[in-house]
Chains A and B, each alone.
Chain A
Amino acid sequence: MTRRYFFGRSAAGIGTAALASLLGKDLSAAEGLPGLPHFTPKARRIIYLFQSGGPSQMELFDYKPRLTEFAGTELPDSVRKGQRLTGMSATQSTFPVVPARVEFARYGESGAWVSELMPHTAKIVDDLAFVKSMHTEAINHDPAVTFLQTGAQIAGRPSIGSWLVYGLGAETTQLPGFVVMISPGAGGGGQPLYDRLWGSGFLPTRYQGVKFRSVGDPVLYLSDPPGFPRENRRRYLDVLAKLNRLKLEEFGDPEIATRIAQYEMAFRMQSSVPELTDLSKEPEHVFEMYGEDARKPGTFAANCLLARRLAERGVRFIQLFHRDWDHHGKLPEGLPKRCKETDQPAAALVRDLKQRGMLDDTLVVWGGEFGRTVYCQGRLTADDYGRDHHPRCFTMWMAGGGVQPGVSYGATDDYCYNIVKDPVHVHDLQATLLHCLGIDHTKLTYKYQGRHFRLTDVHGSVVKKILV
C-alpha cells in the first residue's frame, strides 16, 4: 500500500468516521505528495508560453552578423558534421546559407541582442534570462513537442504540468491545477497539437491539464443548458446530494462521499470559471499593455491576460500554445506575423506580473520545440526563403521565479548551427524548471510497469548558473 493509493482514489481509505467532515471539504484540489517540495522553492507556479512549430532563433534572439558574409555559400561539411537532417531537406542538392534579413540591436543594461521583430520583448530584456544553447534530440514536431512536454519523444508519459500537480498539488480549490490555452496563428494553420501533450500519461487522469477554450464553454460542459437556470441547478444538486447521502448511509462506500463533493465542486466551478474568463472588468490600461488583441477571445494576447488571472488564482501550471511558427517556406512573410501576435502580450505579461509583485514567484518560460536551419530549405529568392527544423540549437527565455534577470547563457557558432558553449538539453531545462519549484527532479518518481519513472528519464542536470 503506497501513497499512490490515496492520490489515485482521493477520499478512500480515510475511514467512515472522517467521512462526514469530508463532505464539507473540497476534494478537487489535488494535494501534493508528502515531503514536497524537497527544498524551499523560488517559484510557486509556471507560465509556459510554448511557441509551437519552432521559431527561428537567428531571426529573433541569436544574432549572427557573420552570416551576411556566408550568404549564399554552401553550409560547410565542417559545420554540418554529417548530422542528420529531416527527410524534407536531406536530399536537397544544395544547402545555401541564408542570413537573417532583419535588423538587430542591443537593449537594456544587459545589452541583449534582439531583432526588430520583437520590439516589446526588447524592452524587458533586463528581466529575462536567455538560453541560446538549447538543444533537443528530436527532428520533427510530434516527437520534439512531446519530448519537451514529457521528457520522452514517443508519447505515453505524463506531461510536465501533470508531474507538477501530482507532486505539489494546486493552490486553488476552485480551479484545476494545470490549465492549457491554445491560440492559432492568424492564418489559422500551423502544426496540429494533440490532447496528449497535456495528458497525464500513466499518472491518474485527474492530473491532466484542463484545456480552457475560447469557443463555447471555457471548460467542457461547464454551462448549464438553456432553460435550466441556476436556481434549478441548486435544487437539483441539493436533491442529488440527499439521495447520494442515503446511499452512503446504506453502503458506506467513501467513493459516494467523494462524488457528492465533486458535484459541489462542479457547481462552484460554474461560477469561478466564468468569473475568471470575464475580462470586462480589466481596466483600460491593461488592454493597452497587452494590446487590442487581448479583447478577442482565443488570441495569444487574451490568453496571456488570462494566464495572469489564473496565476493570481493559484493555478500551478499554466501553459499557452501559440501555433504556426513552422516556417519551411515564406519565412519573411510568416515570421513577422507570429512575432506581431506574440511579442507585445508576452512582454506585457512579464511586466504585468512584475508590477503586481508576482514575477518573483512566477516563472515565465518562452520557447518552441526546436530551432531552424541556417541553410535555406526550398527555393531561395530575393524576397523568399525557408528554414527546416534544427534540433542542434535554439533559443528560449525565462523570467522571474528564481531565474537571474538580464543574463544570456550558452552560445552557438557563427553559423548558428552548433553549440559552442554551455549546452542545455531538454532534460536540463526540465530539471531546472522543477528545481525552481523546489523539486529534485531525480526524486519525483512514479512506479509504473515495475519501473520508477521521472520527467527527466535518467538524465538532466539543473542549470544552476542561470538561477538566482
Chain B
Amino acid sequence: MTTTAVKIALIAIAPLLLPAATVEFNRDIRPILSDKCFTCHGPDPANRKTTLRFDMEAGARRAIVPGDPLKSEIVRRITAEDKAVRMPPAYAGHDRLSEREIDLIRNWIEQGAKWEKHWSFLPPKRSASPEVRDSGWARNPIDRFILSRLEREGLKPSPEADKTTLIRRVTLDLTGLPPTPREVDAFLDDGSGNAYEKVIDRLLASPRYAERMAIRWLEAARYADTNGYQTDGVRDMWRWRDWVIDAFHRNMPFDQFTVEQIAGDLLPNATLDQKIATAFHRNHRTSGEGGIVPEEFRVEYVSERVDTTATVWLGLTMGCARCHDHKYDPIRQKDFYRMFAFFNNVPEKGLVYNFGNEEPAIKAPTPEHSHRLAELDHTTARAEQRWKALQPRLEKTQRKWERSLAKARAIEWSVPDGLVLHRRFKDDDSGFDGRRYVEAGAEANFNYMEPFTLAAWIKPAAKDGAIVTRMEDYFEGEGYGLFLLDGKVRLHITRRFTDIGLRVETESAVKLNEWQHVLAVYDGYRYASGVKIYVDGQEQKLKVLFDDLNFPLGPKEPVRIGGGGGEKLRFKGAINDVRIHEIALTPEQAWTVPLSGPVNEIAALAPEARTHAQAARLRLCFLDRFASKNIREAQKQLFEARKERTKYFELIPTVMVMQEMPEPRPTFLLRRGAYDSPGERVTSGVPEFLPQLPEGSNRLGLARWLVDRANPLTARVIVNRFWQMYFGTGLVKTVEDFGSQGEWPLHRDLLDWLAMEFMDSGWNVKAMQKTIVTSATYRQSSKVTPEGFERDPENRLLARGPRIRLSAEMIRDQALAASGLLVEEMGGPPVKPYQPPGLWQELAGGKGYAVDKGEGLYRRSLYTYWKRTIAPPAMTTFDSPNRETCAVLEVRTNTPLQALNLMNDVAYLEASRKLAERMLRDGGKTPEARIGHGWRLVLGRNPKPRETELLAEALEQFLEYYERDREAAGKFLAQGDSPRNKKLDARELAAYSGVASLILNLDEAVTKE
C-alpha cells in the first residue's frame, strides 16, 4: 500500500467523521480521553500518577474550566510545543493529538464541557422513529433511522435488489445454504404482495435456519471436540451443540436461552435438557498436560468463564481487570473476582482427563437413546421377574441337592469366572525370604480402564512386602501391584508415581505370622472409589492415598509373586493360592474365595449355622454346576440382560455440565491474576456501575440478571451481533467491546430501538431476524458506484445493501448443496470430512485423522470434528474462528490460499463433478442450457449471454483437451468417494466438471450480494 493510497482513502472516509456542530461527550470526547489519557488518568489507581482523572467529571475539574478552553489546563497541555509539558507524553507511546481531536476538546469545553455516563451503561430508550422526507421508502422503523441519517448526509438509498439476488441473499443469510432453482422460481412466480414474507417464514421454519444460527453461537461459546491444551484430548460436547440447534429451531426466547445455559442446573426441578444447556461453560479449553499445577489451570478455566460471559452478553472486556483495575472502563479488579465467584464453585479438576469427558459430566441420552434404554430396562425387568419367580424352585432344588451331598463324593469349588492366573505352591515351597520372588508369566496385562481382581493367602513375617504385582521393579514403577506396607494392604495402579495413578490402603493392618486371605477388586473405571479390599472375606475400610488415574499404562513386566516394587519390598513370610481374575468379583464371589474344602461340609451345616460366605459359596456352586437347565438359563438371561443394558448405557454420550459444590469455594482477589497470590476475600457480585444483584446471589441470580430489562447491555450486544450477521459489521463495529474503548454506535437510536423491540417481543429471536431482513435497508441492491464507494467504503451508512464474502462453513455447505451431495441430517456426533492426510501426525504423531466414509463426508460444516490445536484447514483458511476462545467478531480476508483451497481441495473437486453430473443430466441438451443450469444451482440467477459465452469457451477448450487425453479425464473424475455416474461420457463429464469448478470459484459464488 502506498502512502498516496492511504491519503486517498483517508480523504474518502473523512466525511463520516466530520464533527457535528454540537460536540457530544460520549461520541466525540470520551473516545479520545479513553484512548489517550485513561492509561495514566483513568480508572486504574495503580497507574494514576496524580489525583487528576478523566474517567469521571469530579476528577477532571482541575484541568477543565467549562466554557473557557483558554483557562483549561488540558488545552494548554495537549497543545504544548514543549515535549516536557505536552500530553499525552511520548513515553506513553502516543504522538501529539491530531488537530481534529484538539478542536473537538476545545469546542466541547467551549460548549460547557458537559459530561455523560458512558452511553452503553445507560438503559436503552425507544425513541420515536425519525421524520424522513422519502417516507414511502421505509418498510419498518429500521429504515426510518437509516434513511434519516442518509438524508442528513445527502445520500440516497439504493433501489431494491432484484428478486433473484434477494432470495439468494436471504436464503444464505437465514439458512447458510443457497436457494434451489425451484425455490427461486416459486418466488419469481409469486406476484402477491407478501411473497417475500412468505419466503422468510418458510426459511425461519426450516431446521437449516437453526443450524445457521447455531454456528455463530458455537464460535462465541468456543465449542470444540477436543480439550485444546497440549495433547488436546477428546471430549464429547455435541449433545450441547444439538441443544443449541434445537433451541433456535423451537425459537426459544433469548432470555430463557441465556438462563438455561448459564444456570439451567440451578432451576427448580431442572430437566435433563436444562442441565445439558449448562455445558456452555464447560466448553472452554482444558489441560491434561502431565506436570501442570492443577490450581493454576483451574483458575484459568474460571477466569475464562468470566471473560466469555462478559464478551458474549455484556460486550465488556472484563479480562482486562483480572490483574489490575480496568484501564478504560469502571471495572475494578475486585469486580472481576466478584464475577469469578459465580463460576468458582464447580467440583472440577485443573488437570483433566485426556480421553473423554472430565467431571462433572452427566449422561445425556437423546430421545432415541432413552427409548432404547427403556426397552432394555423392560427386558431386564422381565428377566428379573422370571428369576424371582424361580426362587422357590431354586430354594427347593438346592435343598434337595444339599441333602444329597451327604452321601456324594467331595466337591471342590471356587469362583471360575474370569480366572486368568492361579498359582498354588506346595507347602514347602510357599516361603519367601525377602530375596526370592516368582515370575508368573505374561497374563493379566490389564490397563487402567479394565477391571481385575487379585487374591492370595499370605503369612507375613514383616510389615512390608510385595504380594503380587505386574509393574516395573521399583517402588514408583509403572504398573499395578498389591502390597503390604506398614502392615496395611495396599493397591497401586501407577502410570507415573508422582502424579498419575491410584493408591488405596486398608485402615487396619494385617496380623504378622498368621495365614490370612487378601483380595483386591478394581472395577476398571479409574477411580479409587472403584476399589474394594477384603481380608479373610471381610470388606475393609479404605483410605484413599492418591486418586488421579487418567492415563493408560504401559507395563511390559511379568506378573511377580512376592516381588516387584524394588528389592526392599521382596516378601518375607509365605504366600500361596494366588489368583488373578480379569473381572471385578462381586462381593458374594469375593467372600467365597478364602473358603476351601469340599462344599459338602457346608451343606452338612444347618442353614442358619452357615456364614454368609459359606451360604454364598453353596449357592454359587449350585448355580454354576448343579441347578436345572431352566434355572441356569434364567440366570444367564438375567446376566445377559444386565450386561447388555450396561453396555448400551456406556455408549450413551455424556456431556460436561455445570454443578455447584455443596459448600462454595471461597473466592479471593488474586493479585496480578496469579493463582498462588490470593488477596482479600470477595463475594459474588456484578460491577458497581451496573444494576446490582442482592448480596449472596448465585449463578442463577447472575443468569437472570444478564437478561433483566434493567441490564443496559445484553439486548444491545445481542441485536448488534444479529446485525453483524446480515450487514457484515455491527452497528457498533467493536461487537466485543461496548466499553469506552469500543466504537460509538453509528446509529445509537436504531441500536436502542432494536434492543427495546427485542426485549418487548419477549426476546423473540426469529421475530428479530424477520424485522431485519424485511427492512428496506436490507433489501437494497449492493451495487457500488465509485462515488458511493469513496463516500463510504465500508458501507457503514448503508446507502446500499450488504455485499460480503460468505463465511467458511457457508462456502463449503453451498458447494455440497448445489452439487446435491449435502446430507441434511440434524445433530449427532461430529463427522470427519476430507482433510489432507498427515496434518495431525506431523504435529502430534499418533494415528491421525481418519476420514469418514459415506454420509459423514457430506454433512453441514457445523458438524465437522473440531480439533482445536489442528483445526480443519478448509475452515480456518476462510477465517473461521479457531474455537480456542470466545469469538464474536466476524472477520473476512481474501488470500491466495483461499483460491488454492477452492480450486484443489478434493471436497470442491468432488462437488464440481457432482454439479457437472446435474448439469448434464437435468440441464437440457445444449451446452448453454447446461451451463445455465449449473449457474442457477449455485448463483440462483440465469447467466448473462456474455457469461454463458465465456464458460462455453472454457468448456470447449476442456472438451478438446479430454478428447485428446481420455486417461486424464478418468483421473480428473476420480476425486472423492461418491460414485461417478457411469452413464455419462467421461470426457464430457470431465470438461463440465472443470466448468462447474469455475462456477464455484466465482467471486459471486463466494459472496452474498
Contacts and interface: CB of A to CB of B under 8 A. Distances in A.
Given A190-B845, A205-B893, A213-B842, A252 B1003 contact: no
A155 B883 CA distance: 11
B291 A252 contact: no
A167 B790 CA distance: 27
A256 B783 CA distance: 12
Nearest to B870: A195
Nearest to B13: A1
Interface string A135-177: 0000111100000000000111000000000000000000000
A330 interface: no
Nearest to A176: B897
A101 interface: no
Interface residues of A, number: 106
A142 B230 contact: yes
Interface string B946-968: 11001101100110010001011
A203 B318 CA distance: 20
B141 interface: no
Nearest to B877: A220
A447 B39 CA distance: 14
B896 A28 contact: yes
Interface stretch (A113-121, A223-231, A278-286): A223-231
A213 B838 contact: yes
B900 A220 contact: yes
Contacts of B898: 262
B813 interface: no
B844 A217 contact: no
A357 interface: no
B777 interface: no
Q: Looking at A155, A182, A195, A229, which has the most chain B CB atoms within 10 Å of its CB?
A: A195
Interface residues of B, number: 123
A188 B909 CA distance: 33
Nearest to B881: A205
Interface stretch (B394-402, B483-491, B584-592, B990-998): B990-998
Given A84-B293, A199-B882, A251 B320 contact: no
B294 interface: yes
A450 B499 contact: no
Contacts of A142: 229-230, 287, 289
B785 A88 contact: no
A389 B291 contact: yes
Contacts of B969: 227
Interface stretch (A8-16, A56-64, A331-339): A8-16
Contacts of B811: none
Contacts of A379: 474, 476
B498 A139 contact: no
A243 interface: yes
Contacts of B1: 6-7, 10, 31
Contact of A378 (B476, B876, B903, B1003): B476
A191 interface: yes
Interface stretch (A233-241, A358-366, A395-403): A233-241
A254 interface: yes
A178 to B, nearest CB: 12
Contact of A28 (B232, B786, B895, B965): B895
Given A13-B13, A17-B786, A266-B896, A243 B947 contact: yes
Interface string B931-956: 00000000000001011001101100
Interface stretch (A89-97, A310-318, A344-352): A89-97
Given A18-B5, A182-B843, A251-B782, A224 B903 contact: yes
Given A204-B893, A252-B786, A255-B805, A13 B844 contact: no
Contacts of B895: 28, 205-206, 262
A86 interface: yes
Contact of B789 (A15, A28, A31): A15
A88 B947 contact: no
Interface in B283-305: 285, 287, 289-294, 300
Contact of B838 (A194, A215, A226, A262): A215
Interface stretch (B107-115, B616-624, B739-747): B739-747
B769 to A, nearest CB: 25
Contact of B1002 (A28, A88, A219, A247): A247
Interface string A192-219: 1111100100001110001001111101
Interface string A438-468: 0000110101011110000000000000000
B871 interface: yes
B1004 interface: yes
B491 to A, nearest CB: 19
Contacts of B474: 379
A405 interface: no
Q: Looking at B17, B953, B994, which has the most chain A CB atoms within 10 Å of its CB?
A: B994
B164 to A, nearest CB: 14
Contacts of B790: 15-16
Contacts of A206: 893, 895
Interface in A253-289: 253-256, 258-260, 262-263, 265-266, 269-270
Contact of A242 (B10, B289, B950): B950
Given A88-B498, A199-B882, A232-B957, 17 more contacts: A7-B1, A14-B9, A87-B292, A87-B294, A140-B292, A155-B885, A191-B230, A195-B871, A205-B891, A220-B873, A221-B901, A221-B903, A223-B904, A236-B903, A252-B783, A269-B896, A378-B476
Interface of A: 1, 3, 5-10, 12-18, 28, 31, 34, 84, 86-92, 139-142, 154-156, 182, 184, 188-196, 199, 204-206, 210, 213-217, 219-229, 231-233, 235-236, 239-240, 242-244, 246-248, 250-256, 258-260, 262-263, 265-266, 269-270, 378-379, 388-389, 442-443, 445, 447, 449-452
Which are the 4 A-B pairs with shortest beta-carbon distances?
A450-B741, A227-B972, A227-B971, A86-B291
29 contacts: A6-B9, A13-B5, A13-B12, A15-B789, A17-B786, A86-B291, A87-B292, A87-B351, A87-B498, A142-B229, A184-B845, A192-B230, A193-B843, A199-B882, A221-B904, A225-B972, A227-B969, A227-B990, A228-B968, A236-B903, A240-B998, A247-B1003, A251-B783, A253-B789, A255-B803, A255-B894, A255-B1003, A449-B319, A450-B328
